[in-house]
Amino acid sequence: MLAYEDIKKIRVEYSISQTKLSEFSGFSKAQISAWELGKKTPEDSEIDILNGVLKDVVLRISQGKLDIKKKKVQHSGTEKKLPATIKSAKEYRLLSENMNYSNDYAMELSRLYKDAMMPKNDNAIKGIALFSGCGGMTLGFEAAGIDLVGHVEIAKSANRIYAENFPKSKLLGEDICAISDEDLQAWKKEFGNIDIIVGGPPCQGFSLAGKRNPEDERNKLYKQYVRIVSAIRPKVFVMENVALMTSMRDENGELFIDKIEKSFCKQGYSLVKRIVNAYEYGVPQSRERVILIGVRKDINKSFEFESPLYSIKESSHQMELWGQKKNALTFRDATADLQSLENGEKSCTDPLHWAITHPEHVIEWLKVVPEGHSAHENENPELRPPSGFNTTYKRNVWDEPCSTISTNFSMISGCRNVHPTDTRSLTIREAARIQSFPDEFVFCGNWGDIRKAIGNAVPPILARSIAEEIIRQILYEEE
């Protein structure tokens, strides 16, 4: 794997400017500059992408197939110029004032947003969000009627987005490890009884996108979650993570999921868990996650996951077991009303709907690729990428749920990141829709931070479904 310290050395050796590397990789010039200056360190998945991009560019330069000094074709200039960052909610709303989306799914997301923004009364169920990210889980739980009064999140960029959308929520801390026992007691005095704690500790240590290193310190952040739950004593908590966490073992060979369950049981909680797929709950995306729900034993209630409401394809056995389900929502359901964009084009009205300018040779590879297929499958060897897998440079399918939205959804060389028919990677608006963020939800900051926030988020529609069941089964009290 390429070490991030070598990025500049290779770039300079082959006279690849930061601007060109930005165009080829999809990372912003500011990100690349920060890495080279040592101000920031790219994640493993980002290094993998840079490694693949640089290998490909260097190979094509050496073969004489790529002239990096050649100017790219410019567009007509009629598109509305969009900023490199979105600084505030006010700026976002001014930019997006002409948006007028009207498909059924977008309207449902708008209703979710309005429900979440409804003022909560003093008797509302109160909760706290740990590892809150930009607020995907919070949006879903707020839409169900739960008042998340405080949150903890270490990423400053995610906190900016969270603050724009949930200004009444108090930032209780950034580094969860730095929260003291005195802080926890202060929370109890300030908020009174907290009914629910929600959150998803970082998943990179468990994900296939990472190294799956048992000694990765991020794998142990669940201990901080346990510590806070044991001090606050909510009636219920919700923990979300990648499905692969269920198979990850520590350095002693013990399953992490078993360690987590034992830790909470010692604190007086009973746990239920299920691997769910987001499309089963009305999200137009195939996204497997494990959901753990803990209920305090002394309240004498238990939680059961309801049967999924949506299915990709019904079998007679499924119908007998679960009953008739709705068809899963698809890429088309989520994005068909959005303007069609080709390489480098921008929407005139939506500040989040614009296409990255990809290298011309990559566009040539993908022009002939049909839905659901990869450029690695092209009959002509000259139109196949020199490296990678058949899940990369691959198109999504209009009438199926989108593939998992990761933080690298804008990388055309990533896993299933290509639009079904337009020859480009996914736009920020498409990814936000597919993650079930309403168009009204405010994203601010630089584009890289926004992409990371979206890719790391819990889909709000999934969160709302879980919250509604918890309220019905655990937190609802008859008057």
Active-site residue list: 203
Under 8 Å between Cβ of 199 and 228: no
3-class DSSP assignment, residue 383: helix
**Residue located via tokens 């004489």:** 64
223's tokens: 């201990």
Gap between the Cα atoms of 24 and 93, Å rounded:
30
| Residue 112 CA: distances (Å) to CA of 57, 135, 180, 244, 365 | 44, 14, 35, 29, 40
Gap between the Cα atoms of 97 and 24, Å rounded:
31
Give 103-120 as a DSSP string. Answer: -HHHHHHHHHHHHHHSPP
Gap between the Cα atoms of 135 and 454, Å rounded:
9
Angle at 135 between CA 346 and CA 465, to 5 degrees: 105
Angle at 331 between CA 327 and CA 332, to 5 degrees: 85
| Residue 26 CA: distances (Å) to CA of 32, 49, 57, 372, 412 | 10, 10, 14, 22, 8
For residue 144, which of 475, 477, 478 has the smallest C-alpha distance? 475
Q: How many residues does the chain have?
A: 479
Angle at 401 between CA 399 and CA 405, to 5 degrees: 135
Gap between the Cα atoms of 345 and 347, Å rounded:
7
**Residue located via tokens 């830790």:** 263
